[in-house]
Amino acid sequence: MFYCAYYFLLRKETFFNSNRWFLLFGLITSVILPLIVYTKVVWVNPASLSDLTFSQTNLIETASNTPFTINWFYLILFAYGIGFISLLIKFAIDFYSLNSVLKGKKIYQQADFKFIDTNENIAPFSYFEYIVYNSSMYTASELENIIEHEKIHSDQNHTVDVLISRAFCMLFWFNPIIWLYRKAIIQNLEFIADKEAAKKLEDKKAYQYTLLKITTHENCVAITNHFFQSLIKKRIVMLNKNQSKKRNSWKYYAVIPALAAFVLLFQIEVIAKEKQQTVKEVSGEIKSVDVYKIKKNSTDANLNEIKEKLKKLHNVDFEVSEIKRNSNSDLTSLKVNIKNGKQTAQSIQTGENSPIKDFAVIVTTNKDDSKSVGIQTYDEIKNSKTDGEPKVAISKKLQTKTETNGSNNSNVSAKTNTNTNTNTSTTVIVNSDNDTKVITTTKGSTASFSNGTKVSINETDKLIVVDGKEMPSGFDYNDINSKDIKSVNVYTGTNAVAKYGEKGANGVIEIETRK
Query: pLDDT at residue 423 above 60?
Result: no
Q: Assign 171 a pLDDT band (cuts: 50, 70, 90).
A: very high
Mean pLDDT of 275-291: 58
Mean pLDDT of 95-121: 92
Distance between CA atoms of residues 74 and 251, nearest Å: 42
**Residues forming beta bridges with residue 269, ordered by sequence position:** 39
Distance between CA atoms of residues 163 and 160, nearest Å: 5
Mean pLDDT of 134-149: 91
Whole-model pTM?
Answer: 0.52
Query: pLDDT at residue 27 above 90?
Result: yes
Is-contact 59 417, C-beta < 8 A? Answer: no
90 compared with 411, residue with greater pLDDT: 90
The pLDDT score that the predictor gives to residue 425 is 43
Q: How much is the CA Rg of the chain, to the nearest whole Å? A: 39
176 compared with 431, residue with greater pLDDT: 176
The pLDDT score that the predictor gives to residue 221 is 67
CA distances from 417 to 12, 333, 347, 348 (A): 78, 13, 12, 9
* Tens of pLDDT, residues 349-361: 776 678 888 888 8
Mean pLDDT of 124-145: 92
Is-contact 36 23, C-beta < 8 A? Answer: no
Distance between CA atoms of residues 66 and 330, nearest Å: 13
Distance between CA atoms of residues 388 and 381, nearest Å: 15
Share of the chain above pLDDT 70, in %: 72
* Tens of pLDDT, residues 34-75: 888 888 888 776 554 444 444 444 434 444 455 678 889 999
227-241, 380-394, 450-464: least confidently modelled range: 380-394
Q: Assign 164 a pLDDT band (cuts: 50, 70, 90).
A: very high
Mean pLDDT of 292-312: 89
- The distance from CA 277 to its chain's CA centroid, rounded to whole angstroms, is 27
Q: Assign 104 a pLDDT band (cuts: 50, 70, 90).
A: confident
Long-range pairs, 15-21, Cβ under 8 A, ≥24: 15/244, 15/248, 15/249, 16/188, 16/191, 16/192, 16/195, 17/192, 18/249, 18/252, 19/188, 19/191, 20/161, 20/185, 20/188, 20/189, 20/192
The pLDDT score that the predictor gives to residue 376 is 74
The pLDDT score that the predictor gives to residue 52 is 47
Distance between CA atoms of residues 87 and 75, nearest Å: 19
* Tens of pLDDT, residues 310-343: 888 888 999 998 888 888 888 888 888 888 887 7
> Angle 140-155/176-200 helices, nearest 10 degrees?
120
Coil, strand or helix: which one is 74?
helix
